[in-house]
Amino acid sequence: MQLLEQAQDGVRLSVSTPEEDIRAAAAANDSLILEFEAFRDGRGFSLAAILRGQGYQGRLIAAGKVLPDQVRHLRRCGFDAVELAPGADPAPWRRMDQVFSAAYQPASGDDRLVWRQRHAAPANDDAVALAARLNDQWADADAEDLLRAVLDPALGRKAAAISSFGAEAAVLLHLISRVRPDLPVVFLETGQHFFQTLAYRRELADRLGLTDVRDITPDPAALSKTDPRGDLWRSAPDACCDVRKVQPLAQAVAGFDTRITGRKRYQNSHRAALAPFEAADGVLTVNPLAAWSAEQIEDWLRDHQLPRHSLVAQGYPSIGCWPCTRAVEACEDARDGRWSGQEKTECGIHARVLAPAC
């Protein structure tokens, strides 16, 4: 945490300023000074956390009536600096900022959480054992019953679905809407999608009544550094997927110990042995449609009159970002149009358990 005698740059606002005015100021300025009116006033902490959660990358400076005991919490909520009162000794601030080396709750910073350190190995073992038990009990079950089992509150899991809103996404999302329409659904808005995909995402969410679809975008600073011209896919497609998909998703699902996907065995040879339940690093991955065939998918779409992605009719049975997706020939597998001509077959989000680096 930087300690300032006097903040020179930035718009100065009281923490009692309405949130909408704070957001407007953040949109127009790359530096904000939030003035605390009392050390017990938590609004400044909340405002910083909200701004960081909404993607604000600018500089946040705490000023006014704040105490050295609060410095670490200020930093963890997203503040970059503190403006000290005239004549204040900076030593207590530095000491309190360093007094703890670990954290119990997630925040905007990069602290490694105590519970994750303590329970990483047991959590992993528990998830592996749970996956084995669920495969024994539910591997041959109807996909909707399988979903109900894993989303049963008695199981004690915190779940989210990951959806591309692609060619076959409507089937899994329809099942989710029948079981738990408020389930968080994570959509990676990579900035490289077909416009048709973005339109389909809106149509399908509205049609199915999904109430918690989360559009996750790449970190602007990471994009500016790694892919400033937006053409990294030409020279390094793995790196492009990493900055536009893997890293953002890791942050988005960090709080979930169960992740539901629409992967299926028939899609390509790399998924041929896909199990309904998988586990690694304490995370349970659920593939309710693993055993479904292309015919079953098509029958479900037709029988339930679900809207189709408009590119399917143009020969796209699997749809990702536009630079790395083409239509397929009649003799090709569904995913042969992804990264065509390259050894790459997956974007990486399913290749390993997604967890932010500690």
- Are 310 and 199 in a shared domain? yes
Q: Which two tokens stand for residue 189?
A: 């808005």
- Are 218 and 153 in a shared domain? yes
Residue 165 located in a structural domain = yes
Q: Which two tokens stand for residue 308?
A: 């189709």
Residues noted as catalytic: 347
Q: Phi and psi of 103, rounded to 5°?
A: -135, 155
Closest to 78 measured CA to CA, from 106, 99, 98, 112: 106
- Are 78 and 129 in a shared domain? no
Q: How far is CA 320 from the centre of its chain?
A: 17
Predicted confidence (pLDDT) at residue 118 exceeds the cutoff of 60? no
Strand partners, 141: none
Predicted confidence (pLDDT) at residue 352 exceeds the cutoff of 50? no
Predicted confidence (pLDDT) at residue 338 exceeds the cutoff of 60? yes
CB 164 within 8 A of CB 188: yes
- Are 243 and 129 in a shared domain? yes
pTM above 0.85, yes or no: no
- Tens digit of each residue's pLDDT (9 = 90 or more) over 12-66: 999 888 888 988 999 888 899 999 988 888 888 888 888 888 888 888 999 999 8
Q: Domain end: 97, 131, 157, which one? A: 97
Q: Phi and psi of 289, rounded to 5°?
A: -105, 15
- Are 294 and 269 in a shared domain? yes
- Are 173 and 264 in a shared domain? yes
- Are 159 and 24 in a shared domain? no
Residue 279 located in a structural domain = yes
Rounded mean pLDDT, 315-324: 88
The stretches of 29-113 forming alpha helices (DSSP H) are 43-53, 71-77, 91-97
| Banded pLDDT at 212 (limits 50, 70, 90) | very high
What whole-number distance in Å separates Cα of residue 207 and Cα of residue 307?
A: 8
- Are 258 and 292 in a shared domain? yes
- Are 19 and 76 in a shared domain? yes
Residue 105 located in a structural domain = no
Which of 7-11, 79-83, 294-298 has the largest mean confidence? 294-298
- Are 133 and 85 in a shared domain? no
Residue 271 located in a structural domain = yes
Residue 20: give the domain boundaries.
2-97
